[in-house]
Amino acid sequence: MKKWAALLIICIVMVISSACGSGNQKTTTTKKTTSTEASAQAEVEYLGKTYQVKTPAKRLVIAGSLESMEDAKLLGVEPIGASTVGGAFPSLFEDITSKTEGIGEKTEPNLEKILKLNPDVILGSTKFPPATIKKLEKVQTTIPVSHISSDWKDNLLLLGELTGKKNEAKTIISNYQKDLVKAKKLLKETSKNKTAIILRIRQGDLYVYPEDVYFNSTLYGDLGFTAPNDVKKAKAQALLSMERLGELDPDYIFVQFSEEENASNPNALKDLEANQIWASLQAVKHGHVSENIVDPLLQGGTALSKTTFLDQAVNWLSTQKTD
């Protein structure tokens, strides 16, 4: 009788153990299924090319594309890895880089660091040579993000699609278009037959950009100011002498200056203001000069740059007296 009782107890224990084991296995399978459903391979279209990417991309690396960093800031996306400038992340991006790992300077991405981060996708830059893009592609799918101002909508929508924030991206674009309509009406007389120029001081020298590059796409293409000849002729960043600036003598001047870009000549802005040719310009005499109307490290041709510049430029220009 005791033997039968002992056998009965052993059987009961075995049944309970088996049931517990089955329960644990079921839980593990459910987690794996949930994990698989959370991210899936998808085809993403961008500027005429198709990319196979895991979406939503939770482990995003931004290599060399400050344009994508601006879009990330606007959409509240925190990359797991990003390029540094002078060994650190610009203060402009401090709200999205508290947990971000540096992956080298913007022109020299560190492949080993990127590999360790195990990214879902890498956003590179069209400024990179083809060889750099190929190296990044060996780590993970790499999308070269355009640095051309006219592609700002596509850039923002790309990041929105990758991170599950496409609706937010569409709203930002829509709001900009609405604000632009109001701005054009408000500045119709201010910009009519008036020349304006954006000067970027780099290592003590003055530079201008083509009509569709930097903030020029907003100033000329959106707000309707007339571009000086040197801007119209520019094919890329172009050096502008003080003597030539004196000859152009624009009606409005925007000056962008940052210490990071003038480490070898930190007094460049003060030197400019003390220059006799500068003092003789009509824009200077009439107070039509704005210095650092937006953060000088903004790239100009992005959603963040355009929305910020439009807001600040309209506020400033609307207070200026027209001749």
Domain locations in the chain as residue ranges: 40-167, 187-317
As a whole number of angstroms, the distance between CA 254 and CA 275 comes to: 17
Measured over the CA atoms of residue 158, residue 159, residue 163 and residue 169, the dihedral's sign is: negative
Q: What is the mean pLDDT of residues 70-76?
A: 97
Q: What architecture is the 187-317 domain classified under in CATH?
A: 3-Layer(aba) Sandwich (3.40)
Q: In the prediction, which pLDDT does 131 show?
A: 96
Per CATH, 40-167 and 187-317 having the same topology is answered yes
- The region that residue 260 occupies, defined by phi over 0 for left and psi between -120 and 50 for alpha, beta otherwise, is alpha
Q: What is the pLDDT of residues 178-205, one digit of tens each?
A: 999 999 999 999 999 999 999 999 999 9
Amino acid 15 reads V
Distances (CA, A) of 216 to 18, 127, 181, 210, 211: 71, 19, 18, 7, 5
Q: What is the pLDDT of residues 193-248, one digit of tens each?
A: 999 999 999 999 999 999 988 999 899 999 999 999 999 999 999 999 999 999 99
Q: What is the pLDDT of residues 86-112, one digit of tens each?
A: 899 999 999 999 999 999 999 999 999
Mean confidence (pLDDT) of the chain: 88
**What is the Rg, in whole angstroms, of the alpha carbon atoms belonging to the chain?**
27
- At 323, the pLDDT band (50, 70, 90 cuts) reads low
Structure tokens at 158: 């790309």
Amino acid 250 reads P
Query: Which residue in 146, 148, 141 sits closest to 120, CA to CA?
Result: 141
Is the pTM higher than 0.75?
yes
Strand, helix or coil for residue 54 = strand
Does the structure show a pLDDT above 90 at 267?
yes
Does the structure show a pLDDT above 80 at 72?
yes
**Fold classified for 40-167:** Rossmann fold (3.40.50)
Q: How many CB atoms lie within 10 A of CB 143?
A: 24
